[in-house]
Every structure is written in C-alpha cells, then in structure tokens.
Structure 1
Amino acid sequence: MKRLVVLSLLALSALAVGCEEQSQPQGGKDPGQTTAQAAPIKDEDLPTEAEFDDEAEKQINTTNYKTELDSLEKEISTE
C-alpha cells in the first residue's frame, strides 16, 4: 500500500512539473512569433508592363540591343 501511495505521489509530482507553464524568454515574446510584419503593398506601388516598356525604350536602342540581349540571356540562364 505504501508503495502505491509513493508511486502515485511521484507520478502526480512529475505530472505537475511537466505541465507547468513555460516561462517566456527575457524579450517577453514567444520565440515562435515573428516580430516584423510586412507592410501592405498598394496596387499603385507595383510597376506595370507599360512602365517597363517605357524604361526599356529609353535604355535599349539600335546600337546596344545586342549587348542588352546577351546580358538578359545570361541572367536567364543562371536562374
């Protein structure tokens, strides 16, 4: 009978210690939480195809189109 009582007390104390609430790190935040959140992006902030076309027309001309094409092909092949 004593053995049963001792084993029960040991089991209950182990259960109490195991279920004890975990203390949080010194930062006060859960380590699983991320602290930085991404800011929402507005549609106006995203570049459009027309903007890319305008930029390309300014940068690429008949004298440098071959070098621009080569650089784009190299960039695509590395990905």
Structure 2
Amino acid sequence: KITIDPARLLEPVNASFARRGRISEGAIADVTVFDPAVVDGMGTVLDAGQESIGIHAVLVNGVVSFRDGRIMSDGAGRYLRYAP
C-alpha cells in the first residue's frame, strides 16, 4: 500500500511507474522498511505531507534516502507533479 498505491495512481500518467512500487526482477528499487505493528500515519497519496510513525527506512532508486527519522541523501529521485 505504501508504494504500490502511488505507483498505480501515477502509472497512467507515466508508464515508468509500472516498474515501481513492487519488489520483482527488473523493478526500480523504491522500498519502504517499516514495522507493521507500529506504522501509522495520516498521509495519503493526495496529502503526503502528513507525518507517519514506524517507518525505519526508505530507499529511492536503490539509495537510502531516509533512515530512523532523518533524511540521509538528496537527489536519488525527483519530484513529480500530479493533477488529478
């Protein structure tokens, strides 16, 4: 849900999202590592600015971008505009 839902939402706009949001051969390495017993948040695909808890790490294009509450790297991905 954390990665596949946004990928499915954006796939009609940009076909490269067919290779995101899933763990499979040939997929782009966007991974969210979380504790399912703790994870909680108010953020949604359309309101992603809300903070979540229980997220341990986020990899974007295979690069650790977020770990234990801190942004670790800049430039692994890029912001995309979306207008529903």
TM-score exceeds 0.5? no
Larger Rg: 1
Higher fraction of strand: 2
TM-score w.r.t. structure 2 length? 0.18
**Larger relative contact order (Cα-Cα within 8 Å, sequence gap ≥ 6):** 2
